[in-house]
C-alpha cells in the first residue's frame, strides 16, 4: 500500500506513480512550448470574477472558466480558435499511467495545462465537469516541486499532503474520483501540470 510522507495510507482509487513520466519529461516540456505558442497561457477568471493564480491553456477538449461558468470546450471562448490537437504523446502517457494505476482502457480526450509561478496555488475543489466519472484523472507534474493536497468526498474531510516532483504522475479515480484536491503555493521556480481527462 502506498502512504504519504507521514505514513498515512492513500485512499482507494489514488495512486502516486513516482518518476513515471521522467524519461519523456523533456518531450512533454516541448509539447507545452508548442501548445502555448499557439494557445498562450492565461489566468482565467472564475464565475465569481477572481483571476486564478495558475495560468492555463489546453490541448484537445479544453477546460475553461469565465464569467459564464466552468466547462469543457473545443474552442477557446476568448479567441474562438480550436484548442491545439491533443498530441499522441499525451494520449499514450495518459493511457499507460491510467492502466498502471488500475484504470485499463482509459483514453484521454483533453489535457489542461497549468503553469504555477511562485505563489500560484489551486484551492481545494472537486473535478465535476467531466461527462464520464468512470474515467480517472491523470495529473503529470513537471518542473518545480509542489505539495499536492488530497482529501475526501467532503470539503471538511482530512487532507493529506503529497510532494509531487518533476516526472511524477498522480492518478485518481473510482472511489476517489470526486475527492477534493488542490495545490499549495509553489515556493520557488515554475511548476507545470498536465491533467489528462476524459471530458466527454
Residues that bind ligand MD6 (CB under 6 A): 63, 112, 114, 122, 127, 139, 148, 181, 183, 193, 195
Q: How many helices (H) and strands (E) does the chain have?
A: 2, 12
Q: Which C-beta is closer to Fe ion: that of 36 or that of 195?
A: 195
Helix axes 88-100 and 25-38, enclosed angle (nearest 10) = 130
- Binding partner at 193 among Fe ion, ligand MD6, none, C-beta below 5 to 8 Å by kind: ligand MD6
Handedness of CA 101, 62, 45, 119 (dihedral sign): positive
Minimum CB separation of residue 139 from ligand MD6 in Å reads 5
Nearer to Fe ion (CB atom), residue 33 or residue 185: 185
Q: Which of 109/127 has CB closer to Fe ion?
A: 127
Based on the number of CB atoms within 10 Å of its own CB, is 135 exposed (0-12), middle (13-18) or buried (19 or more)? Answer: buried
Alpha helices, H only, 53-169: 88-100
112 is in the binding site of which of ligand MD6, Fe ion, none (Cβ under 5 to 8 A by kind)? ligand MD6
DSSP letter, residue 37 = H
Considering the complex, state which of residue 84 and residue 127 has its C-beta at the smaller distance from ligand MD6: 127
| Residues paired with residue 149 on neighbouring β-strands, in sequence order | 161, 182
Q: How far apart are CA 179 and CA 190, in angstroms?
A: 26
Out of ligand MD6, Fe ion, none, what residue 114 binds, judged by CB under 5 to 8 A for its kind, is ligand MD6
Among 76, 109, 127, 130, indicate the residue that binds Fe ion (CB under 5 A): 127
**130 binding Fe ion? (CB under 5 A):** no
The one of ligand MD6, Fe ion, none whose footprint includes residue 139, by CB under 5 to 8 A per kind, is ligand MD6
Amino acid at each position: 500500500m502506498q502512504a504519504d510522507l507521514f505514513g498515512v495510507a492513500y485512499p482507494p482509487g489514488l495512486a502516486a506513480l513516482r518518476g513515471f513520466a521522467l524519461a519523456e519529461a523533456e518531450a512533454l516540456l516541448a509539447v507545452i512550448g508548442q501548445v502555448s505558442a499557439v494557445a498562450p497561457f492565461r489566468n482565467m477568471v472564475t464565475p465569481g470574477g477572481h483571476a486564478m493564480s495558475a495560468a492555463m491553456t489546453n490541448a484537445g477538449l479544453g477546460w475553461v472558466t469565465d464569467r459564464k461558468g466552468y466547462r469543457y470546450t473545443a474552442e477557446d471562448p476568448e479567441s474562438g480558435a480550436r484548442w491545439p490537437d491533443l498530441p499522441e504523446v499525451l494520449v499514450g502517457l495518459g493511457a499507460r499511467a491510467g492502466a498502471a494505476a488500475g484504470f485499463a482502457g482509459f483514453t484521454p480526450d483533453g489535457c489542461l495545462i497549468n503553469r504555477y509561478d511562485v505563489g500560484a496555488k489551486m484551492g481545494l475543489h472537486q473535478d465535476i465537469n467531466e461527462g464520464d466519472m468512470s474515467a480517472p484523472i491523470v495529473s503529470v507534474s513537471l518542473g518545480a516541486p509542489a505539495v499536492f493536497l488530497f482529501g475526501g468526498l467532503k470539503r471538511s474531510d482530512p487532507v493529506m499532503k503529497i510532494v509531487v516532483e518533476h516526472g511524477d504522475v498522480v492518478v485518481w479515480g473510482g472511489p476517489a474520483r470526486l475527492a477534493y484536491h488542490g495545490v499549495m503555493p509553489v515556493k520557488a521556480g515554475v511548476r507545470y501540470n498536465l491533467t489528462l481527462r476524459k471530458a466527454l
